[in-house]
Amino acid sequence: MDDLLSNIGSPADLRRLSLAELEQLAAEMREALCNLVNAKSAHFASNLGVVELCLALHTSFDFRRDRLIWDTGHQIYPHKLVTGRYPQFNSIRSKGGLMGYPNPAESEYDLFMTGHAGCSVSTVMGLKSGDELVGENQSHAVAVIGDGALPSGIVFEALNNAGGMRQQGLIVILNDNKMSICPRVGGLANYLDRLRSNPVYLGLKSEVSRLLKGLPLVGDSAEKLLWQIKEGVKSGLQGGILFEELGFRYVGPVDGHNLAELRRYLRMVKKADRPVLLHVITNKGQGFKPAEEDPVFFHTPAPFQRERECVIAIQKSASRTYTHTASDAVADAMKRNPRVTVLTAAMCQGNKLEQVRDQFPDRFFDTGICESHAVAFAAGQAKAGIRPIVDIYSTFLQRSYDQIFQEVALQNLPVSFLLDRAGLTGPDGPTHHGSFDLAYMRVFPNMVVTAPGDELDLKLMLDFALAHDGPVSIRYPKAKAEKVERRPAAVELGRAEVIRTGRDGTLLVCGTLLADAMQAVEILAEDGIDVGVVNVRFVKPLDTETILAAIADSPFVITVEEGCLQGGFGSAVLEAAGDAGVDASHVRRLGIPDRFIEHGERHELLADLGLDVAGLVAACHKAAVQDSLPISAPRRVS
């Protein structure tokens, strides 16, 4: 059933369709979304919810000239379907295929590559301003932002700025589906609930529809009437006052699944004399019952088979991940110490913190998509004698860089950071890879930067962090939890763990590639190359004693990290060697090079970068051959 969809090469084709055909197209687009998630894990419920909004936007504006930003970008799939990418649609999130987020390299209709929430209003403001400065005054700039992303601080910075500038032609569409990934939280959520359930607005909605039925579809009289009704009730009702007071015209709520009504409202708001916030009500998961009923699971479900509207099988992975380990360690710590709290920034589900939330509701804090606030909040708690754990993905924590500096590191407060998804995250791609945290954390005085080598280490490291009198960051990847067979050494500040010594070379391993390194040295041993492995555990303070000894004694040394090479662990090793005046010409560094890494399965991406077992083996072979010293000749001359 893709009669219409397969003929849509660009939004211009949409404008030739009747309303009934657009409604059929919406059904075909939902079918395409459902077929996609049969085969792979992908963003789903949010996309089902914006199908009509997407069609209404593309038939009301010309986004070769007008500007459109989908905030965050995870709900971009319908937009991809109608902007010439239907033929490649099933390649989404696979290596070499379409990105699961906007990507300017794919289409002129994607303006920014995004994946982090909250910047849409700012960027469309800039686009609008830039267009005006180059003489393009007629265009409109549209930001579509969810109610989950709306509370981000930066959104309010932009709304405030836009209201003050009275930017005409700026349209913010609030896509209100009552959900972030989990149910939305906070005072703004309550405010939006009141707006959407206000009887006068609900009455207005049906009254407007009724009136419109008797009026021509387009026409100044209809639009004037809509404004009049709205303005009339607004003064009595004070609906949308928050946005009105910021300088926006607040319009809505509008039914986001009624294409005709949406298009009428879009035509109307185009003519506003100042920025407009159009409040659109949608249903996350619209059109597929199981997703409507459980939008949390169906936000990014595991691949599933369906029969009509029933899910008949889900390919859930049985493996325990590092995120499970971290969540269990957090629960355990909270059980033992009533002063331990945990904070998440809207990622309760991703962080697998549901058990903690349910067990310790008073010590679990979900700030919404507000990472900077979460970190400053944790700093306040720490100052008051609490031991907060900030559990945020490595990539999203970048949002709170200044709070890590000022509120935490500068005060030397005991905040423990759990950096989930550190390293290559896989199908989400460059916006989500946690490549930079080792580099961005290690620049701050007072910050202890750790990279546990395996599951056992991760638990020990959280205990260490909670006992340490200052900030500690702990990173772990989106991966199956591994245990490296050994009796782990007790964690000691700035102490590495030598797992095995080797005559021919040493791998200095930072983080959970440790298990791969252990496999690699087994293979190398069969080839007669004897390589040692150090689980470095601490990137800051570095165990210079162990590391410099390895550099001095080993014919070759390879640093291994699932993080950026610029400023990361390998850099720290070279700095330490340089400071100590030790020859490090035989030190090689493996890690993420100085470019953004595409999307694909994590194992594929790691293999491409030589960060898998085969890559480590190859790197050791190469180093053993290339190194000027004969194998087994110690480098230390003492």
Is residue 399 part of the annotated active site? The answer reads yes
x/- map, 110-129, ligand TPP, by CB under 6 A = -----xxxx-----------
Distance in angstroms (rounded) separating the CA atoms of residues 345 and 589:
33
Among positions 67, 74, 79, 387, the unique one binding ligand TPP when judged by CB under 6 A: 74
Which of positions 525-584 make contact with ligand TPP (CB under 6 A)? none
Q: Which residues contact 102 (CB under 8 A, 6 or more apart)?
A: 69, 70, 73, 76, 79, 110, 111, 112, 113, 114
DSSP output for 269-307:
HTT-SS-EEEEEE--TTTT-HHHHH-TTGGGSPPPEEEE
Residue 352 interacting with ligand TPP (CB under 6 A): no
Q: Are 367 and 345 in contact (CB under 8 A)?
A: yes
Residue 180 interacting with ligand TPP (CB under 6 A): yes
What strands, in cross-sheet order, belong to the sheet with 587-592? 497-500, 531-535, 505-510, 557-564, 587-592
Distance in angstroms (rounded) separating the CA atoms of residues 429 and 113:
10
Which of positions 430-449 make contact with ligand TPP (CB under 6 A)? none
Nearer to ligand TPP, 300 or 473 (CB): 300
Nearest to 446 by CA among 414, 491, 403, 492: 414
Q: What angle do CA 611, 614, 616 make, to 5 degrees?
A: 50
Nearer to ligand TPP, 122 or 571 (CB): 122
In the set 284, 357, 421, 537, the catalytic residue is: 284
Q: Is 2 helix (H, G, I), strand (E, B) or coil?
A: coil
Residue 101 interacting with ligand TPP (CB under 6 A): no
Among positions 41, 59, 60, 72, the unique one binding ligand TPP when judged by CB under 6 A: 72
Q: Which stretch binds ligand TPP (CB under 6 A): 72-80, 193-201, 591-599, 616-624?
A: 72-80
x/- map, 398-417, ligand TPP, by CB under 6 A = -x------------------
Is residue 371 part of the annotated active site? The answer reads yes
Distance in angstroms (rounded) separating the CA atoms of residues 523 and 394:
32
Which of positions 159-178 make contact with ligand TPP (CB under 6 A)? 175, 177
Nearest to 137 by CA among 165, 159, 169: 169
Residue 46 interacting with ligand TPP (CB under 6 A): yes
Q: Are 244 and 11 in contact (CB under 8 A)?
A: no
Q: Which stretch binds ligand TPP (CB under 6 A): 144-152, 450-458, 493-501, 581-589?
A: 144-152
Nearer to ligand TPP, 148 or 239 (CB): 148
Residue 478 interacting with ligand TPP (CB under 6 A): no
Pairing of strands 67-70, 557-564: unpaired
Among positions 29, 68, 159, 179, the unique one binding ligand TPP when judged by CB under 6 A: 179
In the set 28, 52, 261, 371, the catalytic residue is: 371
Which of positions 360-399 make contact with ligand TPP (CB under 6 A)? 369, 371, 396, 399
Residue 284 interacting with ligand TPP (CB under 6 A): yes
Residue 85 interacting with ligand TPP (CB under 6 A): no
Which of positions 288-317 make contact with ligand TPP (CB under 6 A)? none
Residue 142 interacting with ligand TPP (CB under 6 A): no
Distance in angstroms (rounded) separating the CA atoms of residues 412 and 591:
30
How crowded is residue 302: how many other Cβ atoms within 10 Å of its Cβ? 12
Tokens 């660009």: give the residue: 10
Is residue 480 part of the annotated active site? The answer reads no
Cα-based torsion angle of the residue sequence 86, 92, 95, 98 in order, rounded to the nearest 10 degrees: 50
Residue 75 interacting with ligand TPP (CB under 6 A): yes
Nearest to 55 by CA among 93, 27, 87, 89: 27
* Residues with active-site annotation: 284, 371, 399
Give residues in contact with ligand TPP (CB under 6 A).
Answer: 46, 49, 72, 74-75, 115-118, 146-149, 175, 177, 179-181, 284, 345-346, 369, 371, 396, 399
